[in-house]
Amino acid sequence: MKMEAKGLFNVARKEFIDHLTSRKFILILALFLIISAVAMHQGIGEYNNRLENYKEQISQIEEEEGHVKWMPEKPSILIIFQRMSYLMSLLGAILAIAMGFDLITREKESRSLKSLLSHPIFRDEIINGKAVGGILALVFAVGIAFLILFAMLLLFSIVPDMDEFWRVILFGAVTVFCLLTYFSIALMSSTVSKDSGRALMSALIIVLALSFAMPMIGGVVVKSVVGDPPEQPEFQSVIEINESEEVIKHVGRINKEEEEEWERYIEELKANNDKKWAIQDAFEIILPERNYMSVSMSLTNPYLTEVHSGSWGSSYTPCETTSIRKSLEKVWKNIFALIILPVVFFAIAYIKFMRMDIR
């Protein structure tokens, strides 16, 4: 048992060092950090602008002396991470795929896998060690990005409170799990493919299929099962409805019959939207990017009361924040998917590697 742990540690350490000294990893990581730093700087600028507006509104309210009907929303540093989440999902996916697509095929092409197995080391130690080494490299990359961000925050004299701090920590953990999904896809492709070129193409095809094919299929199913939304009744009074068909208000007087008809329309519209979101979310629960964005939105915007992975339909109550626990409860399915998807892809890679004919 000690020999197995030692072999796993040795393989993981070698892979981790290989990643950190690889030109490919260094170039992609440098690009990842540069673009992330730019996004962070823009987010900090947006935060400072909102903070100035907030201070001006507060000063105006104080001058009015008692005629306050509302309180402005104080900006949070979490808006910086909202901007970061888009870059993390895109650039992080490129970094994770680049790290994993040739982990096994590289050994096949150099014929070093057979000589590696001639040493006192087991197959499961090789595949597990390579996975652990890649995971540590991803954690290192995300950790460096967040350290740079915190340094920039301190440079601009911005200090998060405890709620914001823990939301940022959880956001970082969710980011790692998202990147692990892409890494496990690349590792699986590297295991089942004959060479690195095919492994890279397989990984990209899987990611593109998940990103584009599944939402399209979900949209078709929604159209055929749910159908078109109910038609809005026409009244003599003025009716206003937003594009998402979720926030509705009417201006002017309506009679009792019109009011009953309007209430029926609201109920039918809500039922239609609920069915639409349920089907769309079911199809998109296997999309790492959508799961990541749903969890990120819930963590970085404590005012959100509802989040959908499909087309980001959401609603919020001004000046009423939700706790971290409730923010996580709203997206527990997405969190579960972010945890289970890397396990599934890695299990496929593990089984294939253990059954591989190495000659």
Encode pLDDT of 91-106 as tens digits: 778 888 888 888 888 8
Residue 298 confidence (pLDDT) above 90: no
Residue 359 lies in a domain: no
Condensed to tens digits (0 to 9), the pLDDT of residues 160-176 reads 888 888 998 999 899 99
- Euclidean distance between CA atoms 70 and 60, whole angstroms: 12
Task: For residue 317, give its domain range.
Answer: 2-354
Average of pLDDT values for 125-139? Answer: 88
Higher pLDDT, 258 or 26: 26
**Percentage of the chain exceeding pLDDT 70:** 81
Query: Other C-beta atoms within 10 Å of 235: how many?
Result: 17
Q: Determine, yes or no, domain membership for 37.
A: yes
| Residue 21 pLDDT exceeds 80 | yes
The residue to which tokens 């909102």 are assigned: 50
Average pLDDT value for residue range 274-282: 78
pLDDT 10s digits, 189-214: 999 888 888 888 999 999 888 878 77
- Give the count of domains, the chain: 1
pLDDT over threshold 50, residue 110: yes
pLDDT score at 244: 47
The reported pLDDT for the residue numbered 247 is 42
Q: Which of 142-151, 247-256, 318-327 has the lowest mean pLDDT?
A: 247-256
Per-residue pLDDT at 13 exceeds 50: yes
